[in-house]
Chain A
Amino acid sequence: SQQGEEDPQALSIQEGENATMNCSYKTSINNLQWYRQNSGRGLVHLILIRSNEREKHSGRLRVTLDTSKKSSSLLITASRAADTASYFCATPTSGTYKYIFGTGTRLKVLA
């Protein structure tokens, strides 16, 4: 399977600190996406980075993509308690609409 693997599995930081989580994948991709899931809720799309992009910003989010290493990172700057959630990367299987998700990083931001 082309499942992404997030690292670390869990992360606990203080409010105001930056949070970095990583995603590795196995095969060639057109894009990579990051989603957030609050406890007991559905996933919400955060950001999409295309394979020809190396970095993308959206508010306090910064995503990088290294296709040579088949990896991506999500940086959340100046974290807030409301950022407490699980974060998943997702990649479409080449040539299809099948989006495969990683196992997620559980982020806890302490106030």
Chain B
Amino acid sequence: NAGVTQTPKFQVLKTGQSMTLQCAQDMNHNSMYWYRQDPGMGLRLIYYSASEGTTDKGEVPNGYNVSRLNKREFSLRLESAAPSQTSVYFCASSEGGTTNEKLFFGSGTQLSVL
């Protein structure tokens, strides 16, 4: 099992460019999440999807959009990248259904916006 797979692993963008971060899980999980990690800030939740067909805002949703394409895939889109979006992005998934469950993380995407 691959678990949670994120692509790309690294990306450099110019201010104003757009891009989509891809995430897929093969564990048949219902819930999926996007976090960003900045030095000294820990992980902050951008968006999450409790189940296929639903998405909700997290702590820092501004400047991002998400799509839960199907049960396996949850993408994060930056429509017009800004230097403040330079960060490491992590996708995660969980079984869903209760809150007493653990998250499984991908290996991250390191994004630099110049």
Binding site for B on A (CB under 8 A): 1, 3, 30-31, 33, 35, 40-45, 48, 50, 88, 90, 92, 96-104
Complex Cα distance, B56 from A50, in Å, reads 25
Chain A neighbourhood of B92, CB < 8 A: 42-43
Any A CB within 8 A of the CB of B114: no
Chain A neighbourhood of B104, CB < 8 A: 45
Known: A88-B42, A101-B35. A44 touches B100 (CB 8 A): no
Interface size classification for chain B: 20 to 34
| Inter-chain contact A48/B102, CB cutoff 8 Å | yes
| Inter-chain contact A103/B45, CB cutoff 8 Å | no
Complex Cα distance, B94 from A31, in Å, reads 15
Chain B residue at smallest Cβ distance from A31: B100
Known: A31-B100, A42-B90, A92-B99. A97 touches B105 (CB 8 A): no
In the complex, per-residue mask of B17-60: 1 if CB is within 8 Å of any chain A CB, else 0: 00000000000000101010000111111001010000010110
